[in-house]
Amino acid sequence: MDAVDAIENRTRDYVRNLLSTLHPSFVEMGQRTAVTQLGDPSVPVLLAALDDLEAGEAREIADRAVDKAVKALSRPDLNSRIFLFPGDGESSVLLNQMNGVLGFSLGAQATLVFVWPVENWQNWLSYTVIHEYAHLVRNLLFPRGIAGGKLVYMKTQEPETLLDAMIAEGVADAFALSVMSEVNPPWTDALDDEETERIWPRIRRRLGVSDPTEIRRMLFGDNDRVPQWAGYTLGYRMVTSYLERQPDSTLAQAALLPGSAILAGSRYADS
């Protein structure tokens, strides 16, 4: 067994132990995500990155970000943990699209954050932790599990839809930007007027789809018919439009609403 295989196996065991109290489907997802995001690291490069993250106070930055998020949206009933891991230093998605930081929340109990020290990674780490905190809160209010390869709401047994995913991301981005303004996420403003006019009818027709592959295609784009970050941008605009139309509602209150209510109160309900 070479060093990379050993690191991968240890990562699987480590993540399994960290997530041992979660539903088995989330444990499996966490293990798979951690190994995928680790990539195939050169051990010296990985160790150097870990040194940079420690010197850059990654853990302290994450702790401060959690404090800011809790002050802005307090949930005493939320019992969650955020785990930091080194990311894949050879991933163009992580380095170029995500600014060195990528987060995954597993239900309402755990978030995995993968970091690689690129320019301005500290601010993006703060942003990502705050963004994921909003996901943890929504996952607490609308608990989900995995059944048949889909995310399913535990209370209703209905699958997560594209609309649900778009609003969840829109709420998380709006919340994170309300707490800190040091970054400018490209996925919140990725469509110009012409692209919006072209893509919105297609996405609107698919708001009720629950196929995970189609949801990802609409959220992230497909380098073909769906522009990059289309679903993220439109979800963010739905949330901000809702807040503009409901001046008595705060973002903290909107974070507690189902996606259908936010869509109904936004300008996108009219188009």
59-78: pLDDT as tens digits:
999 999 999 999 999 999 99
The kind and range of the H/E element at 51 are: helix 43-55
DSSP line for 211-262: -HHHHHHHHH--SSSS-TTHHHHHHHHHHHHHHHH-TT--HHHHTTS-HHHH
Q: Write down the residue that tokens 């060195």 correspond to.
A: 100
pTM of the model: 0.95
**What is the average per-residue pLDDT within 106-128?**
97
pLDDT in tens, 124-136: 999 999 999 999 9
**What is the average per-residue pLDDT within 214-239?**
96
| Average of per-residue pLDDT values in the chain | 94
The per-residue pLDDT for 270 is 86
Q: Is the pLDDT of residue 271 over 90?
A: no
Q: Which of 19, 133, 20, 111 is nearest to 67 (CA)?
A: 133
